[in-house]
């Protein structure tokens, strides 16, 4: 299976973001990738304004634009977007959704674990999801998680129990001291916990390497990760935008799960 990881920096303009993502998805498809994963918040970057004003259902222009592109290219695309959720007082919350589209699929996973910390409260504007999600690509079960989910090993182990050999993790990671190191360790740890491939594209670092290490909101640090079930790094991005393509053998996950039965 050939998988593409699209590392980009999106903006506040959903139409521009669709054009940017489409260009990079085409690049990955031209390199032979059949499963192409874009970051969390591909439709609209975090810290770029209200999310509810551009949120849409899966029949909206962003989601259907990617569905048409997936049909044209004959690939499956995963990309972060936002859907309307509920209202709490004057705040219209959204779901933080990973769209999965192409090859007969058009569905979404809603992020379960919102990024709630001492400095940032995602749940104020994002309603947490409740359900795990898998889909089938080229006969292989693929699990879905988003960004902060990666801090919760049981979610990844349960996806593996449900048959996942690959877990895709669209991400928009916050920068700051040791943040890249944490992201690297967590991606590898979740691969080892569940005995699966982790395919985790992050938003590129706004401002590139010149801004690396400075505290930021969850707007990306780059360093997209492709990790094997035994914890080996297959590919890792830098701070700048790029497209990564990796080849994997999903049978390696089954062998790892058998050799180290942690599930």
Query: What residues are annotated to the active site?
Result: 40, 111, 147
Alpha-carbon distance of 183 to 187, in angstroms, equals 6
Alpha-carbon distance of 116 to 163, in angstroms, equals 29
**Strand arrangement of the beta sheet that strand 76-88 belongs to:** 105-110, 91-102, 76-88, 35-37, 2-7, 242-247
Rounded alpha-carbon distances, angstroms, from residue 108 to 29, 191, 248: 21, 22, 24
Give the relative orientation of helices 61-73 and 14-30 as an angle to the nearest 10 degrees. 10
| Pairing state between β 166-168 and 140-144 | parallel
Residue 177 half-sphere exposure, CB side, CA atoms within 13 Å?
0
Alpha-carbon distance of 127 to 110, in angstroms, equals 9
Hey, what are 191's tokens? 């691969």
């Amino acid at each position: 299976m050939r998988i593409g990881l699209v590392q980009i920096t999106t903006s506040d303009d959903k139409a521009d973001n669709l054009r940017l993502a489409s260009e990079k998805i085409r690049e990955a498809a031209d390199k032979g990738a059949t499963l192409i994963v874009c970051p969390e918040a591909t439709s609209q970057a975090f810290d770029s304004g209200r999310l509810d004003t551009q949120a849409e259902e899966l029949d909206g222009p962003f989601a259907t634009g990617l569905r048409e592109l997936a049909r044209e290219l004959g690939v499956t695309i995963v990309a972060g977007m936002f859907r309307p959720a509920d209202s709490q007082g004057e705040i219209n919350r959204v779901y933080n959704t990973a769209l999965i589209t192409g090859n007969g699929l058009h569905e979404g996973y809603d992020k379960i674990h919102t990024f709630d910390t001492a400095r940032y409260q995602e749940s104020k504007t994002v309603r947490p999801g409740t359900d795990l999600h898998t889909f089938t690509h080229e006969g292989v079960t693929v699990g879905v998680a988003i960004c902060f989910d990666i801090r919760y090993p049981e979610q990844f182990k349960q996806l593996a129990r449900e048959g996942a050999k690959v877990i895709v993790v669209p991400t928009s990671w916050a920068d700051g001291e040791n943040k890249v190191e944490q992201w690297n360790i967590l991606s590898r740890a979740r691969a080892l916990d569940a005995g699966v491939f982790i395919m985790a594209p992050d938003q590129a670092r706004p401002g590139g390497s010149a801004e690396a290490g400075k505290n930021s909101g969850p707007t990306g640090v780059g360093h997209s990760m492709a990790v094997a079930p035994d914890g080996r790094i297959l590919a890792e991005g830098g701070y700048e935008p790029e497209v990564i393509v990796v080849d994997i053998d999903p049978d390696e996950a089954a062998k790892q799960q058998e050799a180290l039965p942690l599930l």
